[in-house]
Amino acid sequence: MWVKLGFMISNQPPLWRRAVAEFLGTSLLVMIVVGSGIAAQQLSPNDVGLQLLQNSTATVLGLTVLILVFGPISGAHFNPAVSLVDWVLGRRSGTGLTLAGLGTYAVSQTLGAISGSVYANAMFEVGTSISTKDRASSGHLLGEVVATAGLVLLIFTLAATQRGVLAAPAVGAYIGAAYWFTSSTSFANPAVTIGRIFSDTFAGIAPGSVPAFILAQLVGAAVGVGLLLLLFPSAGRTADDVVLPHEAGRVAS
């Protein structure tokens, strides 16, 4: 499929433009997660279940829209774990992110996530402060392994089977479901995890819980890759199509 590798790489938007898309997409994603969490606390202060429903519904809808907006530019990774897997799988077939691209994506995503928390706090006039919400129980960490493995398997399966057009609703639906079937409420994203340190609200996470969360997410990503290669051995050939195909020719200049 990727015989004309040099053509395909040069036909992508420049790295700086993809980095901007990853920054904005991840920032807006965290704004949605943190902002809807604050709103849920204020609207339903005595009903945690309803707060989670409000938070997850906003995230499902918002993530779907963000993938549609930024996917054609950067692929809409918004997640260093997804970018890392894209790079790892691409090494097998000469596709996917370069090492420089991986580093640029990860930095853009992390800075975007932090800015999203700060902006969400400001919108609701909640002071930006470090979260005190401890989450690193064994159950939560297991939940992060499961959530991240499922996310990686879903995204790269869609690319491998040429169904990337379904990525926006499928990823949104998966994250929405994982809010409920995982004990951790499915962070499944190292950048978002770091960003959520900076809001001591419903969606926050204490700094002490973050290293274990990120380790669990990386383990989950590795599990997801293992399952992917077991089911679709040639999946690495479509690394450039993750989460959505992003060729410059498909974007109006």
133 class by beta-carbon count within 10 Å (0-12 exposed, 13-18 middle, 19+ buried): middle
Residue 4 lies in a domain: no
Span 143-162, average pLDDT: 96
pLDDT for 119: 98
Q: In terms of residue numbers, what domain contains 59?
A: 9-250
Task: Give dist(CA 14, CA 16) in Å, integer.
Answer: 6
CATH of the domain at 239: 1.20.1080.10
Amino acid type, 235: A
Angle between helices 48-74 and 15-43 (to 10 degrees): 170
How many Cβ atoms sit within 10 Å of the Cβ of residue 12?
A: 21
User: Is the residue at 1 inside a domain?
Assistant: no
Least confident range of 81-85, 171-175, 211-215, 232-236: 232-236
Task: Give the separation between CA 40 and CA 48, rounded to whole angstroms.
Answer: 9
Contact between 101 and 212 under an 8 Å Cβ cutoff? The reply is no
Look at phi and psi of residue 97 and say left if phi exceeds 0, alpha if psi is from -120 to 50, else beta. beta
d(CA 163, CA 173): 15
Give tens-digit pLDDT for 77-123. 999 999 999 999 988 777 889 999 999 999 999 999 999 999 999 99
Query: Is residue 5 predicted with pLDDT exceeding 50?
Result: no
DSSP 50: H
How many structural domains comprise the chain?
Answer: 1
Would you say residue 175 lies in a domain? yes
Residues contacting residue 99 through CB under 8 Å, at least 6 positions apart: 87
In a domain, 2, yes or no: no
CA distance readout (Å), 196 to 31, 71, 89, 221: 10, 23, 28, 20
Residue 3 lies in a domain: no
Rounded to the nearest 5 degrees, what angle is found at the Cα of 112, between the Cα atoms of 109 and 118? Answer: 145
Average pLDDT, the chain: 91
Is residue 25 assigned to a domain?
yes
Of the listed ranges 162-166, 213-217, 227-231, 239-243, the least confidently predicted one is 239-243
